[in-house]
Amino acid sequence: MIYSLIVFLPLIGALITGLFGKTIGARTSEILTSSFVSISAILSWIVLGNVGWVDGANDEVVVILKWLTSGNLDLSWAIRIDTLTAVMLVVVNTVSAVVHFYSIGYMHDDPSRQRFFSYLSLFTFAMLMLVTSNNFMQLFFGWEGVGLASYLLIGFWHHKDSANNAAMKAFIVNRVGDFGFALGIFCIFYIFGSLDFDYVFSNVKYMTDQNIYILGYSFNSISFICVLLFIGAMGKSAQFFLHTWLPDAMEGPTPVSALIHAATMVTAGVFLVARCSPLYEMAPNVMSFIVFIGATTAIFAASVALVQNDIKRVIAYSTCSQLGYMFVALGLGAYQVGIFHLFTHAFFKALLFLGAGSVIHAMSNEQDMRNMGGLRKHIPKTYVLMLVGTLALTGFGIPGVFGMAGFYSKDAIVEAAFATNLAISSYAFTMLVIAAFMTSFYSWRLVFMTFHGTPRASEEVMSHIHESPNIMLVPLLVLVLGAILSGYLFYDSFIYHDFKEFWASSIYILKENNILKDLHYVPTIVKWTPTIMMVLGLLLAYYFYIRRPNIPSKIAGDQEVLYKFLLNKWYFDEVYDFLFVKPTVSIGRLFWKAGDENIINKYGPDGISKQVVRVTKKMVQLQSGLIYHYAFSMIIGLSIFITFYIIIGRG
């Protein structure tokens, strides 16, 4: 019963608010949805405390109903509860509950907030369906449900063209990844004859030598499936090449950004790879590819964040970069470490996004950091919240003593990259260390440009600056606790604890995969490297934006090519526009003008069909309805007929 409540309470709230929101009113809708999600969050923590801690004794599969039966395909709609699911339930519901209460204050002037809260709860339900799925078809349902809800939320302010375009972009880019994911599911059923997790994962070892043939080429079936599934993960988790939708998703309300970037949509890909660990452990080449994509994403997004001026876009690219860290851990076989960073990241990244929302709220919807500055005296509570989130993100701490959440999870990924024997490990380690330096720089750049220095906003804006109401700030204390303590409290459970006990049947690791042990024995300098990068990034940002604030503009002028390259996000949007968008538009216009208008319409509705209608109208005019007219016509016709035969007979 408890599992059903966790999953379906957000759906009930979404349906009641969506269907009867105008009847029950905005305040009731807000309280109803927020309360239901909060109950789910509390129950999720209870489940985490009871599931998977001892030999998987409490792992369960709760069947809700019989779903699909067709030939060999026999699927039930079920809720799968194990350690991985319990962790994801806590992440999704906790952040969602905070976002719901925060939105009560943030959206209090919006006339459509009933619809907004319905969408938030629907989003939460879709993600819960994804993480509790017991087969690939059910997972795909949640996967697409998250995509639909994100489209509705990103484009919530549909009166803005930018919001509509961002929603469409997110939807379309994700369709690319989802197509690969769907093909992967088709191949799984083709190879295994089932989509049930337990059946597929328990039979992987018998399929490692089986090939799949496509267009005359032979591919190892497990590796091919893993690549297709990872393409889906790349789209949802905004990895390199399929990342372009993520920054534009900032067009939605700030609570949407926090929910999408911290706990739900972007973590779906990480969850997918971790859930499919029995498959990926049998595909080492694909694992190396995941490490490459993850490391490249980490350095790419961090480099772009260095020069962004929109406060939400800086945090968005930070999310993209941190997701790269998670995928590096997954590719190294350190699945628990990747999920650990997902867990801690949810708290401090949601804190940063909602803190940024508080800044925007105080600044009369201003998002450009160049128009901020000196805000710490005006909104001190928000300043402290952002400071805690920044310390957690940059990995503030002292090895062997204590640190913030990111210190434990992110540093463990760097150590794993150094400890592994993969050929790609040197590249991954180098990229992650450089990205750690960049993360510290752009994070403190955001703090210094926003809260320190001389105010750069207009006098009118400065006169209206005010601290956010308690309904927005108090829920963030939950995230503050997570940003400070989640790494310290859960480190042993995710990394030191024997995975057979804590992770039970959630994650499968080959016996020869010793990465969780090896990462603890890296040299001391490796353990200190992320901390050193954090300090260097802080000092450089302080020097640039506090001591010598004229330097950044001077560097941007001297290195104009590099600056524009980073500012324009490595020109991915322009390249994709040239390669895909413009050719597609040109082909569409060709079929529209040459095909539809000049051929189909010209010879169809505007051609033959039009003439038929015209002739028919003329013929109709001949029908007078008078008998003597018809008799006269018959006589004329008979006369013509007789005359014709007389002429023929004479000839």
User: pLDDT tens across 124-150, in order?
Assistant: 999 999 999 999 999 999 999 998 988
Question: Residue 54: its pLDDT value, please?
Answer: 46
Q: How confident is the model at residue 263 (pLDDT cuts 50, 70, 90)?
A: low
Write phi, then psi, for 365 (nearest 5 degrees): 70, 15
What is the H or E stretch that residue 393 is in? helix 380-394
Q: State pTM to two decimals.
A: 0.89
Q: How confident is the model at residue 459 (pLDDT cuts 50, 70, 90)?
A: confident
Question: Residue 39: its pLDDT value, please?
Answer: 95
- Residue 469: CB atoms within 10 A of its CB come to 14
Instruction: State the residue for tokens 């109401």.
Output: 469
Mean pLDDT value across residues 116-129: 94
E strands in 139-230: 211-214, 217-220
Q: How confident is the model at residue 262 (pLDDT cuts 50, 70, 90)?
A: low
Mean pLDDT value across residues 424-451: 95
Write phi, then psi, for 412 (nearest 5 degrees): -65, -35
| Whether the Cβ atoms of residue 77 and residue 137 lie closer than 8 Å to each other | no
Instruction: State the residue for tokens 């042990």.
Output: 517
DSSP 8-state secondary structure symbol assigned to residue 283: -
Question: Residue 326: its pLDDT value, please?
Answer: 95
- Residue 202: CB atoms within 10 A of its CB come to 14
Rounded distance between C-alpha atoms, residue 382 and residue 359, angstroms: 7
More confident position, 599 or 375: 375
Inform me whether the pLDDT recorded for 53 exceeds 70: no
CA atoms 481, 482, 484, 488: torsion sign? positive
- Residue 365: CB atoms within 10 A of its CB come to 8
Rounded distance between C-alpha atoms, residue 6 and residue 376, angstroms: 39
- Most confident stretch, 147-161, 218-232, 458-472: 218-232
Dihedral (Cα; 249, 318, 237, 570), 10-degree rounding: 80
What is the H or E stretch that residue 70 is in? strand 60-70
Inform me whether the pLDDT recorded for 503 exceeds 80: no
> Which residues make Cβ contacts (< 8 Å) with residue 221, sequence separation at least 6?
187, 191, 207, 210, 211, 212
Of the candidate ranges 193-207, 447-461, 490-504, 507-521, the one whose mean pLDDT is the lowest: 490-504
Mean pLDDT value across residues 468-483: 91
Rounded distance between C-alpha atoms, residue 563 and residue 543, angstroms: 19
Arithmetic mean of pLDDT over the chain = 88
Residue in 311, 395, 399 with CA at minimum distance from that of residue 356: 311
Inform me whether the pLDDT recorded for 633 exceeds 90: no
More confident position, 594 or 143: 143
Mean pLDDT value across residues 418-424: 88
